Every structure is written in C-alpha cells, then in structure tokens.
Homo-oligomer: A and B are copies of this chain.
Amino acid sequence: MAVSEAEAAVMEVLWRAAPRSAEEILAEVGPAQGWQEGTVKSLLNRLLKKKAVKAEKDGRRYLYTPLLSREKYVSQESKGLLDRLFDGRVAPLVAHFSEQRKLTKKDVAELRKLLKELDDE
C-alpha cells in the first residue's frame, strides 16, 4: 500500500527531525494544512499500519520515527512519474521542463556541473 499525499505531509515533518511526538507534528503540519488533532492522529495510525513509521512509548505519549526513508519515497514517486509519462527516460523529462521555461539559471548551471562530473568518471 502506498503512502498517500496527506500521509506524505506528515512524513516530511518526521524526515526533517525525528523522533517526534504527535503534538509536535501537529504543531508543525497542522496550521499549514489546516488540519486538526484527530486528522494528524489518523494519518499517523495509517502510517503505522503501513509500516512507514514506528512508535515507541515515551511516558504517556508516543514518539514517532520514520521507517520509510525520504530517499526511498522520492525514488518511488519519481520513477512512477517517469515511467508513466516519459517512457522511463530522463532527458525527455528535462526537455519538457525546458520547453515550459521551468529551467532557472541556477538549474542550468547545476545541470552543467552535474554533467561535467559524470565526465570525470
């Protein structure tokens, strides 16, 4: 079962710093998403069921820690999109953004650097 988008918002908090209590997570994600307590609790429980986080007791409450790494999650999502829309190839994806003028100067500079580094191998 995949981690949904709302669940991912909770994961993001945990990826920034963990372990965290439900209260801390709510404080960080609640306002931005307009969520309240029950919602965050539910998301945490679904993440537990999906083995994307684990919880350890800390006195009266629990502290949550990610089990699924951000790297892994990002990989899955990215690969999914790439396969579905660009036949699994990266260059067409970048070409797409280029056509949409979504490449900033900084992007271009970084891409150049990246390619140069690939050369030096």
Q: Report whether A94 and B78 are in contact in the complex, using a CB–CB cutoff of 8 Å.
A: no
Which B residues are CB-close (under 8 A) to A58?
none
Interface majority SS on A: helix, strand, loop or mixed? helix
Tally A residues with Cβ within 8 Å of B.
34
Judging by beta carbons under 8 Å apart, are B85 and A106 in contact?
no
| A97 on the B face (CB < 8 A) | yes
One digit per residue, 1 when the CB lies within 8 angstroms of any chain B CB and 0 when it does not, for chain A 101-120 equals 01110111011101100100
Per the bound structure, the CA–CA distance linking A78 and B94 in Å amounts to: 10
Residues of A whose CB lies within 8 Å of any CB of B are 5, 8, 74-75, 77-79, 81-82, 84-85, 89-98, 100, 102-104, 106-108, 110-112, 114-115, 118
